Amino acid sequence: MKPQNIEDLSFQIIDKEAGDHGFDSLKWPIVRRMIHTSADFEYIETVRFHSRAIDAGIKALKKGCSIITDTNMAKAGIRNNAQCFIKDEDVVKTASDNNLTRAEAAVDKACDIMEQGIYVIGNAPTALLRLIDLIKTGKAKPALIIGFPVGFVNAAESKHDLIEMDFPYISNVGRKGGSNIAASVVNALIILTEGGQY
């Protein structure tokens, strides 16, 4: 089978197994791509969308917004050009000098270019917590946060804090997440934008 045939068949299987999932025609392509990436149907129950999230994301993409991510793995998986500062020398130095994680220092570095862009977090809860703080203090103004940090320390808690904000986000509850999931959400938004489905 050709790659496109495999993907098409995969989506047919997901649609059948998901049944009456309750998502609309904009949310379902995003959730379905998350499931396709992970083979994990639990995202149907755990994914969360802010009411303005899809609108904000697609409008930003149409304007050619910056996409910044916390990992090079997510960067590699995103269809459009994305930026990641986690390994930049100045980020490493700033983190060391100021007792920060590199993920936190990378968020700080991205403040200027993230305005009306999309910040994608698929690994570090510290990045998401830092971003939330910067938004609350008016120092960061992305159009959309895609927040899927993964793990056992502050992953669920950081996503809880994000979901409690009245700010455009796509996220989930619990420990699950990862760079592959975060990238799949961005790609689904890109496909929706390019395909004229919005």
Q: Which residues are catalytic?
A: 36
Query: Which helix or strand (DSSP H or E) is residue 25 part of?
Result: none
Question: Nearest Cα to 123, choosing from 142, 102, 137?
Answer: 102
Please, are residues 137 and 129 in contact by the beta-carbon 8 Å criterion? no
Structure token pair of residue 64: 């050619």
List CB contacts of 75: < 8 A, sequence separation 6 or more.
69, 82, 83, 84
Report the 10 Å Cβ neighbour count for 5: 9
